[in-house]
């Protein structure tokens, strides 16, 4: 199977929850050689044990599709513990960061990290033949209340070759 050029990625909560809601967590392991989830991120994702996405994330970690890890958070008062831990682990390993939070992405990029968000994962998965279309996944996320900016969404759909423009 083809993989992206990124061999190790560290995931933050947003993309994990979004992909779990789509039942597409496997896209991460399809794109990257190893996907690490810091303990603080895992705790955030699974805090509501009654939610299906929490169970999916827990199962993915138990099955080895995602790998739990210990991470030293970076010092940043404007980010949550999960984001700080994910950035800290990505810096330690010189890995990519999978995150949707704009402040976290900006901080990570300022520190020299490659970042990719949920939309980027979906577009890359389509490019690699792991997902037939991006739009149905996006529509499902939005219908479930997941916020995706209009401009970013249009850009992603253009990149995926699914734009109406």
- pTM for the full model? 0.92
| pLDDT for res 147 | 84
Residue 5 pLDDT class (50, 70, 90 cuts): low
Q: What is the per-residue pLDDT across 108-123, written as a single tens digit (0 to 9) for each? A: 999 999 999 999 999 9
Is the pLDDT at 75 greater than 50? The verdict is yes
Q: Structural domains in the chain? A: 8-132 (3.40.50.1010)
DSSP string, the chain: ----S--EEEE-HHHHHHHHHTT-THHHHHHSSEEEEEHHHHHHHTSSTTSHHHHHHHHHHHHTSSEEE--PPP--TTS-HHHHHHHHHHHHHT-EEE---HHHHHHHHHTT--EE-HHHHHHHHHHTTS-S-SHHHHHHHHHTT----HHHHHHHHHHTT----
Percent of the chain with pLDDT over 70: 95
């Amino acid at each position: 199977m083809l993989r992206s050029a990124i061999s190790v990625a560290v995931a933050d909560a947003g993309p994990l929850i979004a992909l779990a809601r789509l039942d597409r967590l496997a896209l991460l392991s399809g794109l990257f050689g190893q996907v690490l989830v810091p303990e603080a991120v895992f705790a955030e994702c699974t805090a509501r044990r009654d939610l299906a996405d929490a169970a999916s994330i827990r199962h993915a970690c138990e099955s080895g599709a995602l790998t739990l890890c210990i991470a030293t958070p970076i010092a940043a008062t404007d980010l949550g513990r999960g984001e700080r831990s994910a950035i800290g682990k990505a810096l330690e390993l010189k890995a990519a960061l999978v995150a949707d939070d704009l402040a976290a992405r900006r901080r990570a990029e300022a520190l020299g990290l490659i970042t990719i968000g949920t939309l980027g994962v979906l577009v890359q998965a389509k490019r690699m033949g792991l997902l037939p279309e991006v739009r149905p996944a996006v529509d499902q996320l939005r219908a479930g209340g997941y916020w995706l900016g209009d401009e970013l969404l249009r850009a992603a759909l253009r990149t995926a070759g699914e734009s109406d423009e």
